[in-house]
Every structure is written in C-alpha cells, then in structure tokens.
Amino acid sequence: MIEIALNVDKDTPVSLKIYYIDGRLVKDFTFSSDGISSNYFVCWDGRDNQNRILPCGIYFVVAEAGEKYVSKKLLLVK
C-alpha cells in the first residue's frame, strides 16, 4: 500500500492520476476538498481502475488542484 500526501487549498477539486512509465493511465482519483482540512492522504494498493494488480515498476503520479500541478516519480515494489 502506497500513501500519497496532498496539501491543497480548501474547497478545491482535486485530481490525482497514476501513469505507468509507458504513459498509460492506470488509476485515477478525483475528489473535492471538504472545506475544513487542507491535508489529504490517498492510499493506492497497486491496482488499476479495473482492480487488476499492476506489475512492479516505475509510475508517475500527477496531482492537480485548482491552479496547482505537481508530478512525481513512484517506484512500485512488492
């Protein structure tokens, strides 16, 4: 299980997408901040949107919240 921490402005829609190294979108999370907290944690179990277990390897996490955008490299090992 991988925990991804986000710090976003309150009342902001958030999009978090995980891509395989070949550029293929494998998992996406979308939610709105609750207006109370600006710190969020997203847990990813290494499965894609169809609930299939993904192989070990390099993935990229892309988070967008309002005008903010961040991309990070992620190594999935089992």
pTM value is: 0.87
Measured CA to CA, the distance from residue 49 to residue 62 in angstroms comes to 16
Domains of the chain: 2-76 (2.60.40.4070)
Measure CA of the first residue to CA of the last residue in the chain; give whole Å: 10
The fraction of the chain above a pLDDT of 90, given in percent, is: 59
Q: Using one digit for the tens of pLDDT, what is the confidence trace for 17-53?
A: 999 999 999 999 988 766 666 788 899 999 999 999 9
| Closest to 49 in 3D by CA, of 76, 70, 24, 22 | 24
**Is the model's pLDDT at 78 over the cut of 90?**
no
At 35 the pLDDT is 67
Q: How many CA atoms lie within 13 A of 28 on its CB side?
A: 6
At 38 the pLDDT is 75
